[in-house]
Amino acid sequence: MSAVDQAPFQLDRNPGIPLDLKWVRSIQVNRSATERRAQSLPARRTVKKEWQAAWLVRAIECIDLTTLSGDDTEGNVHRLCAKAKQPLSPSMISLLGLGNVQVGAVCVYHRYVAEAVRNLEGTSIPVAAVSTGFPAGLSPFEERVKEIERSVASGAKEIDIVITRAHVLQGNWKALFEETKTFRAACCDAHVKAILATGELGTLTNVARASLVCMMAGADFIKTSTGKEPINATLPVSLVMTRAIRDYHEATGALVGYKPAGGIRTAKQALDYLILMKEELGDRWLQPDLFRLGASTLLVDIERQLEHFATGSYSAVSRHAMG
């Protein structure tokens, strides 16, 4: 058995375009139609047996393995990085007939970037740092920019920025554009993942417009949530954001990635998001350079499902390192 063919991490940066307010203000999202389409995905699309196992391996390769807790320690980060390098046990790798499997990235607070970089030395796994006053994004602007610069200097290859939600809620698209553009410049060569905190944006139309503005400003990824909001990743929101990515790609030729985050805990949910990406954006967006799943506990359920496929039995959650 093998996973879907995987391309190396070599995505060209999204250069961005000038802010087009006419395009932004023309966007309107039909909520009921969006919800109907989203509800149809898990109901009519499934993968079974060896195909499901292959898709779950691909889900592992697209995980941003994350620890963003107030009680994080260097020990937690060391354990997370060890799991990132070997997300499946050698026995499971052998049973499934796989080669090297690793996650898409390790995501930590700035405080632990250098520790994560040390622990991942010798691998191709990038370190992603949450930045810009995560999760609220309300610290002074200059401090948010400096935080990005410090994370990049510590070795972060990806920066998950948080936008100022007030810009979206007030329709101040120029301010959102300039903010994101400044954050992108501070990232230098590190890829920018713009967190929209969609559960706090009020409407799906706001989500679509904010997605487009962040891409115009040069975001390499757009991401649903910090994981700290009452409502995080959902399929309707993901449908809106992936269609914004598609429209932007058709207009500019730039490839922008997508990251749903927060509340994705089961293998079935991961499959739903992979199916969404395939149907809305195509196979190119099934690669980890264009799709990530922000998660901390998802890997445990995927491991258990793969073990059931390989052996016919489910293992206890406590047997797994991230359980």
Query: Is 272 an active-site residue?
Result: no
**What is the Cα–Cα distance from 27 to 238, expressed in whole angstroms?**
16
Task: List, edge to edge, every strand of the sheet that includes 63-66.
Answer: 257-259, 221-223, 191-195, 158-162, 127-130, 105-109, 63-66, 293-295
Query: Phi/psi at 19 (nearest 5 deg)?
Result: -60, 125
83, 157, 193, 223: the catalytic one is 223
Q: For the chain, percent helix, then strand, then coil, each to nearest 5?
A: 50, 10, 40
Indicate if 193 belongs to the active site.
Answer: no
DSSP assignment string, 186-222: HHTTSEEEEE--GGGS-SHHHHHHHHHHHHHTT-SEE
- The Cα 176–Cα 141 span in angstroms is 12
Among 157, 181, 259, 289, which one carries the catalytic annotation?
A: 259
The residue annotated as part of the active site, out of 64, 160, 272, 301, is 160
* Straight-line distance from the first to the last Cα atom of the chain, in angstroms, rounded to the nearest whole number: 26
- The verdict on whether 20 is a catalytic residue reads no
Close Cβ partners of 236 (under 8 Å, ≥ 6 residues apart): 31, 34, 35, 38, 204
Extended beta strands in 25-146, E state: 63-66, 105-109, 127-130
Would you name the residues annotated as active-site residues?
160, 223, 259
